[in-house]
Amino acid sequence: MAEPHDLTALEQAAAIARGEVSSVELVEHYLRRVAALGDTVGAFVTVTPELAHAAARAADAAPVQGRGPLHGVPTAIKDLTLTAGVRTTFGSAAFADFVPPVDADVVRFIKAAGLVSLGKTTTSELGCSLYSEGRVAPPARNPWQLAYTAGGSSGGAAAAVAAGLVPVAQGSDGGGSLRIPASLCGLIGYKPSRGLVSGGPLGSGAFGLPTSGPLGRTVADVAALLDVMAVPVPGEPYLPPPAPPGGYLAAARRAEPGRLRIGRFTTPMLADEPVHPDCVAAVDTAAALLTALGHEVVEVPPPLTPAAWPLFEIIWYVLALAPVPAHREPELLPLTRLLRARGAEVSAGALSATLGELQAQVRRGAARTAGCDLLLCPTLAAPQAPVGWFTADGDPAADFDRQRRFSPYSAIFNVTGDPSVSLPLATTTTDGLPVGVLLSARYGDDARLIATAAQLEHASDGWDRHPAIWRAVDSANVNDDGVGRSPS
C-alpha cells in the first residue's frame, strides 16, 4: 500500500478533496519524516510544526469551493526567502536570529493557495554558492548518496523533496540555484522567465538575475506550483509574460508544444572545461527522445562562450554585497568575505560598463541561436560532487573557480532572463545517480517549455524515482546507507 509521500503533490491534494486524508494528517506524516531524516540530509534550517499544524487545520476547514489544485499540501520555503514571524537566516550565522516582519510576495501566494509550509530549507550563505554547507544547519546532502552534495543554493529544498520530506518546495535561482540541485538530486527544477514571479515586496534588484521558482518530482506538480507563484503584482520592474490558457498546469497536462526546432550543444559557456561523458550521454538521450517525438534537433554553437565569464564574475561579486551588520561581518564564511571584498572594489562606472557589454554578448548569442524554439545542453559539467569538495583546499578563490567549472551552463539563462528547466532524464553509468539535462526557451515561452518537459516525461515513462532513503521509517536511527530503521 502506498505511503502518503508516495503520492505526488497533486495526488495528495486530490486525496484531501475526496476526504481520504486531511491536511493535518499529511502534515503529521511529513513532520515525522522530517524529525527522522531532516538532519541526515540537511534539509531544514528551521522547522515550524506549530505553524504547520495551524495552517493545516485552516486548510481543512476552508470551503471546498475555491480550493486550488495544491490545497492542503505540505511544502517548504527556502531560507533566503522572507517569511513573517519565522527565523530566516539567509544561510548565514550573521543572521542566525533574524525574524522578518513581512512575507515575500511568493510566500503570501503559497499561503493563499492553501499550501502548508513545514519550515525553512537549507541554503548557501546569502545564496553565494552552488553548494549548501554553512554554519546554521547541517550540510545539504544528496539523498541518493549522502557523501555527495545536494547542491545550492536551493540545496535543502532539493534534499527535502528527494528524501520525501515534502512533495514540492519553493526555491530561487540566481545562477542555477534551482536547476543545479534538481540535477544532482533527480528532480525537476524550474527557473521561470524574468518577471513571471514577483521578487517583492523588498527590492527586485540584482539586475534581474534571481527569481523564485518551483522544485518537484513531476512536471505537473512543478507547473501547479508555478501557477501558485506566478501572480502579477503592481509595481514590479519587469513586465510578466502572459499566462497560457488554463495556466501552466493545463499546459503540462496537454503536453502539446507543437513541432519544435531545438538547438543542441554541449560546449560549456562559462569555462573551458571537459564535460563528463555521462552528462553528454544525457543530452544525447534527450535529443533522441525529442527527435522520436517529431521535433527537429540541430547542432548549434552555445549562445555565449567563456569570454563572458569575466563579466558575469564582476556581477556575482557585486551581488554578494547584501547588507550585513558591520559587527557581524566576521561571522561570514571565507567565500562570502572574498566575494564581498572583490565586489566592494567594483566602481559604479565599471559595473555599468560590465552590464552593457554582457547585454551586447547576449544579443550576439541570440543571433547565433535564432530560429531555435528551445535549447538543449547539460545542466552540469559533472554529474555529482562530494560534500566538502569545493572547499577542500581552504582557498575561497579556488572554491569559486571550481564552482564555475562544475556549472558552466545554467547561469547564462539568468543573464538572458529566459525560462530554463533541469530534467532528471538520465543516470550515471557506474552507480545510477541522477544526471540532469537543461532545456531552455525564449523569454516568455514558459508554457511551451513546460509542455515539452511534460512530453519528454511521458516519453521517458516518468521520472518519479526514489532513493533508498525514501523507504526509511520514521526513526532517527540511520544505517550506513542513510536509511532509517526501526529501533529493535
Is 269 among the domain residues? yes
Is 479 among the domain residues? no
The per-residue pLDDT for 2 is: 79
pLDDT band with cut points at 50, 70 and 90 for residue 483: very low
**Is the Cβ–Cβ distance between 69 and 249 less than 8 Å?**
yes
Q: How many CB atoms lie within 10 A of CB 289?
A: 16
The yes-or-no verdict on residue 25 having pLDDT over 50 is: yes
Query: Average pLDDT in the 343-357 region?
Result: 97
Is 485 among the domain residues? no
The per-residue pLDDT for 357 is: 96
CA nearest neighbour of 43 among 75, 8, 9: 75
- Name the catalytic one among 124, 132, 172, 177: 177
- Name the catalytic one among 23, 78, 111, 183: 78
CATH number at residue 397: 3.90.1300.10
Is 394 among the domain residues? yes
Structural domain harbouring 113: 8-471
- Name the catalytic one among 117, 124, 129, 153: 153
Q: Which residues, in sequence order, are CB contacts of 213 under 8 Å at separation 6+?
A: 170, 171, 172, 173, 178, 189, 190, 191, 192, 197, 226, 229
Is 483 among the domain residues? no
Is 67 among the domain residues? yes
Does residue 124 have an active-site annotation? no
The per-residue pLDDT for 485 is: 32
Query: Average pLDDT in the 120-148 region?
Result: 98
pLDDT tens-place string over residues 176-235: 999 999 999 999 999 999 999 999 998 666 899 999 999 999 999 999 999 999 999 999
Predicted model pTM: 0.96
Is 178 among the domain residues? yes
Does residue 422 have an active-site annotation? no
pLDDT tens-place string over residues 47-95: 999 999 999 999 999 999 999 999 999 999 999 999 999 999 999 999 9
Does residue 183 have an active-site annotation? no
**Is the Cβ–Cβ distance between 80 and 203 less than 8 Å?**
no
Is 464 among the domain residues? yes
Total domain count for the chain?
1
pLDDT band with cut points at 50, 70 and 90 for residue 475: very low
The yes-or-no verdict on residue 470 having pLDDT over 50 is: yes
The per-residue pLDDT for 317 is: 97
CA nearest neighbour of 223 among 253, 198, 194, 197: 253
**What is the chain's mean pLDDT, rounded?**
95
